[in-house]
Amino acid sequence: MSGHLHPDRLLPSDPVALRVARALHDAVADLPIVSPHGHTDPAWFATNARFANATALLLTPDHYVLRMLRSQGIGYDALGVPRCDGGPVADPRAAWRLFASRYDLLHGTPSRLWIDHCLMWAFGIDTPPCAENADVLYDRINERLQDDDLRPLAVLNRARVESIATTEMALDDLSHHAAMEKQGLIGRIRTTYRPDDVTDPDNPAFRYNLERLGELTGQDVSDWDGMIAAHRTRRALFRRFGATATDHGMPDAQTADLSAPAKQALLTRLLSGPACPKDASLFRAQMLTEMAALSCEDGMVMQLHAGVRRNTDPALLASHGPNLGADIPARIDPGAGLAPLLARHGTDAHLRLVLFCLDESTYARDLAPMAGYWPALRLGPPWWFHDSPRGIRRYLDQVVETAGFANLAGFNDDTRALLSIPARHDVWRRCVAAFLAGMVADRTLPMPEAERIATWLCHGAARAAYANTRAAEPGGGSQTSTKLVSSSAI
């Protein structure tokens, strides 16, 4: 990298620590990328078609950028984001010009680091976008997008992506993954089971979605056991297409452990009419415990993303749809919330729960002590608003002394923007190098150990955290703790 991307970016300024951090970064910079959780479009890989233009590649899929521009009064129509009603929006070149003219808004944000990296890595562009160069850069990017080495599968190869997971809802037909299966791509590219469409009664389509789940699986979803059997069937289909994990987006981290009669009564109430807030919350909580039980059966890693109020702008949701940046972190109480689930399944050798949280106040108070005790629990990396250089530093500072390194799930990029994957992993690797360099400089960690831990955090931890232990075990397997197996690598 050259130009405005400094080779020592994010590394310490102290000369002693800098020398150590450079050596550590050199050891991990070219490791293969494991991307076990994200939201890239599976159609990209199934079709391997060229990206249409710079705007579709770098602007409209990136809700980090969109929300910042929105905060300065720039509308989504002007940025070329498609409308739900199919109405007119700015053409891609006009949207790119507007984005380039306001690129300075991204100073201080991780988006600036990621996009600068993307531009240099993929296009050899070492100057930031601005009003004066907008058309030149747009044309240069579009010209390069005609080259085969920037098709989606070639990007995975160039970025040394060892494996990548997409995320699909429970009712998805998985047609793109079926196409990839015929191409021999499943394994390197895999789906993830996200059942929020049939586990959240606040979804206006909840009852219809449950009926559809029953139709797809041949189960009576008005019966609690039948509904769980329907999930079991869908999970098996997802595993056919490579899934090793489930994913659950929750406003909180509440779980429950109801009796069988209470569960059936709850489901009956929800199917008979609109859900009251108490029943909706209780159903989500119980379904997390049910999903943990299913993971104990089939070995699928359970991901929980907790602590966010989603789609808080009703006008944007109506005009352009969800997942466009109008989301706000929320306080949670994971210690109390996860207690029912952990009491039931927290010591099961076949449950691995990776927890992501937007409430940073819980890192040292709750999450690190919990992961430092419960065999089933791993800490996911800093997520969403905190997957930034300072967010990563805060995370490591607050969790390592209590949870250690072995109880961390490494890094995942959690992105919808394909070219940001190598950029995001680069930021993580630099921040890990800087953190460990401080320990080496303080003489609390020998350099050989720092090198092993850096490799673990940047590659091995994610591989271990997302391994399906049941799938790897003939006959359904060993009772060896997954924590002990995975932590042996460090």
121 and 262 assigned to the same domain: no
324 and 279 assigned to the same domain: yes
Q: What's residue 240's pLDDT?
A: 97
Q: What is the DSSP string of 258-269?
A: --HHHHHHHHHH
CA distance 364 to 253: 16
CA distance 202 to 275: 7
| pLDDT, mean of residues 49-68 | 95
Q: What's residue 393's pLDDT?
A: 97
125 and 205 assigned to the same domain: no
Show the domain range for 143: 50-150
Instruction: Tell me the two tokens of residue 49.
Output: 């078609």
What type of residue sits at position 449?
A: E
CATH of the domain at 247: 3.20.20.140
Q: How far is CA 68 from CA 320, 339, 417, 484, in A?
A: 16, 37, 16, 43
- Where residue 489 falls among pLDDT bands split at 50, 70, 90? very low
291 and 363 assigned to the same domain: yes
Instruction: Tell me the two tokens of residue 307.
Output: 């602590």
CA distance 482 to 469: 8
Q: Which sign, positive or negative, has the C-alpha torsion 291, 296, 299, 305? A: positive
| pLDDT, mean of residues 382-395 | 96
CA distance 141 to 349: 49
Domain membership flag for residue 73: yes
Q: What is the mean pLDDT of the chain?
A: 94
> Mind listing the pLDDT tens digit for each residue in 352-365?
999 999 999 999 99
| pLDDT, mean of residues 339-343 | 98
> Mind listing the pLDDT tens digit for each residue in 318-332?
999 998 999 999 999
Domain membership flag for residue 8: no
> Mind listing the pLDDT tens digit for each residue in 439-475?
999 999 999 999 999 999 999 999 999 986 454 333 3
CB 62 within 8 A of CB 39: no
> Mind listing the pLDDT tens digit for each residue in 92-150?
999 999 999 999 999 999 999 999 999 999 999 999 999 999 999 999 999 999 999 99
188 and 328 assigned to the same domain: yes
Last residue in a domain, options 119, 150, 181: 150
Q: What's residue 273's pLDDT?
A: 86
Number of domains in the chain: 2
pTM of full prediction above 0.85: yes
